[in-house]
Chain A
Amino acid sequence: MAAHAGGLKADAEDGPDMAAHAGGLMTDPAVRVEGLSRGFGARTVLDDLDLTIGQGEFVALLGRSGSGKSTLLRALAGLDRDVTGSGAVRVPRSLSVVFQDARLLPWQRVLTNVVLGLRGADAALRGRAALAEVGLEGREQAWPNELSGGEQQRVALARSLVSEPQLLLADEPFGALDALTRIRMHGLLRELCARHRPAVLLVTHDVDEAVTLADRVLVLDDGRIAIDQRIDRGQSATAHRESLLAALGVAA
């Protein structure tokens, strides 16, 4: 697919637009998914899936490759226009997506990339503040190509949080980074989420990442949520890790 002016229409059926009336009380969950099914041709990827994510809750979604993690995330983001399926999805209107690639526009400077989705006179100011938060103060006028992979992903984080979203959807955002950078990014993400309190759905294939970051870890299998485990900080990370690995069919 190429650039297409018609491509900006919102998904009317079960896209984020339904969400306008989901915002109400703080006690309402941020995300409510009921009976979600998605398929590509004859293959069913998501099969009558239910999911609820609370306000400010950090949920990690694990699963084997091809288990439909990204399909679920894209359904929540309203980016699955060409996929057949059914079900109800209620998400906040203000949501942001972080992709696996930083997806910065190479022809716009860093600050312009950050404020791309913002409107209003204070956009630049907010963009600068967001860049400072991810530790990239002073790089506003750099080109994305001049940044390292980790820095680019930090710009992407700034872009996704500058709009103060109620829901942050992250699709393996650190998958392409080296191990050291990834650890640093974990710290940053945790810090940012603690400050801005969005509900988070983090898709990952890294069990350690899920256990380190999330309040709750889900394992997707056969198109449904097979395991829904709350991470108890009192319990050792190793115990969580082993039970999750076992659920994924890997002997710990």
Chain B
Amino acid sequence: MSLLSPHRRRLGPGRPIPLGAALGPVLLLAIWSVASALGWLDPRTLSAPWTVVTTTGDLIADGRLQDNLAISSQRAGLGLLFGVAIGTVLALISGLSRWGEAILDGPIQIKRAIPSLALIPLLILWLGIGEGMKVTTITLGVFVPVYIHTHNGLRGIDSRYVELGESLRLRTGTFLRRIVLPGALPGFLLGLRFAVVNAWLALVVVEQINSTSGIGYMMELAREYGQTDIIVVGLVLYGVLGLLSDGAVRLVQRRALTWRRTLAD
């Protein structure tokens, strides 16, 4: 007769790996380095990692990187600001009133189905090719996820809490401040995570069309001269910016939602 082990077979994915999130990117970088070092990768196809690093140094030394990054960040930041404000206000109107929902929700769902890229010809005709057009395009890409998730969060607030508010005779202001807004916050923050990534994605699109500044323009120029290293610098920059801004929102999320004791996050 054999003794039964008291441990049951584990069905979940198991213990988290320390620094697990970094493992995939590091592996990718290692393969890229080895392939470049052994000459498997033609530098015209893809520059070696160290070339990218030295190019980054050169770009910083002559100020091109900072200047382009500054103008790109300004565009993304402004678009994000307007988009988040518009998305939040629309979600509140549509989430708190049946009339608001009837009028607003349909058009926004239609907008959601149209890619920002497809709107650019029209926006150029209306707004020209200046900053206004660029910021508008980013705003249009940003407000939709903020609206969708905030609206969803508002609609998802348990009706029992509304009843509680009624039984305590809360004034509308208190009801909004204590029940509606905090209840919709998880949805809003999820929308914000999509929004920051969308801001950078929309930036790529607007800066590679009719632009004379920004990271996208720098990459577009590099394509004309066949400078793969600069293109890779731009790509890495976009990736890092996206990751950093998503990480920032997640940090806010963790701070703001400490009351939620969920498994993930």
Contact = CB atoms under 8 A, between A and B. Distances in A.
Nearest to A106: B259
Given A2-B154, A3-B155, A107 B182 contact: yes
Interface string A100-130: 0101011110001000110000000000000
B261 interface: yes
Contacts of B180: 3
B95 interface: yes
B162 A3 contact: yes
A42 interface: no
Interface stretch (B102-110, B128-136, B169-177): B169-177
Given A99-B160, A107-B183, A143-B258, A5 B169 contact: no
Nearest to B92: A5
B58 interface: no
B265 interface: no
Contacts of B178: 105, 108, 112, 116
Task: Tell me whether chain A's interface is mostly helix, strand or loop, or mixed.
Answer: loop
A7 interface: yes
Task: Tell me whether chain B's interface is mostly helix, strand or loop, or mixed.
Answer: helix
A148 B166 CA distance: 26
Contacts of B156: 2
B164 interface: yes
Contacts of A78: 166
Given A106-B260, A107-B183, A2 B159 contact: yes
B62 interface: no
Contacts of A10: 169
The listed residue with most A CB atoms (<10 A of its CB), out of B155, B166, B179, is: B166
A187 B16 CA distance: 47
A101 B164 CA distance: 11
Given A8-B172, A79-B163, A116-B170, A108 B154 contact: no
Interface in A178-226: none
Interface residues of A, number: 28
Given A97-B167, A107-B183, A143-B258, A3 B157 contact: yes
Contacts of B162: 1-4, 7
Contact of A7 (B166, B168, B257, B260): B166
Nearest to A94: B169
Contact of B259 (A1, A3, A6, A143): A143
B167 A77 contact: yes
A243 interface: no
Contacts of A117: 168-170
A84 interface: no
A105 B174 CA distance: 13
Interface string B223-265: 0000000000000000000000000000000000111110000
B160 A101 contact: yes
The listed residue with most A CB atoms (<10 A of its CB), out of B170, B259, B261, is: B259
Interface in A77-107: 77-79, 96-97, 99, 101, 103, 105-107
Nearest to B162: A7
Contact of B157 (A2, A96, A112): A2
Given A2-B159, A107-B183, A145-B259, A116 B168 contact: yes
Contact of B166 (A8, A101, A106, A159): A8
A8 B162 CA distance: 8
Contacts of B259: 106-108, 143-145
B96 interface: yes
Nearest to B160: A103
Contact of A5 (B155, B160, B172): B172
* Top-4 shortest CB links A-B: A117-B168, A107-B182, A1-B159, A3-B157
Interface of A: 1-8, 10, 77-79, 96-97, 99, 101, 103, 105-108, 112, 116-117, 143-145, 159
Interface of B: 95-98, 154-157, 159-172, 174-176, 178-180, 182-185, 257-261
Given A1-B162, A3-B183, A108-B259, 13 more contacts: A1-B159, A3-B96, A3-B154, A5-B96, A8-B166, A8-B169, A96-B168, A105-B164, A112-B178, A116-B164, A116-B170, A116-B178, A117-B169
13 contacts: A2-B159, A2-B162, A5-B96, A5-B175, A5-B176, A7-B162, A8-B166, A8-B170, A8-B175, A101-B160, A107-B257, A108-B182, A108-B259
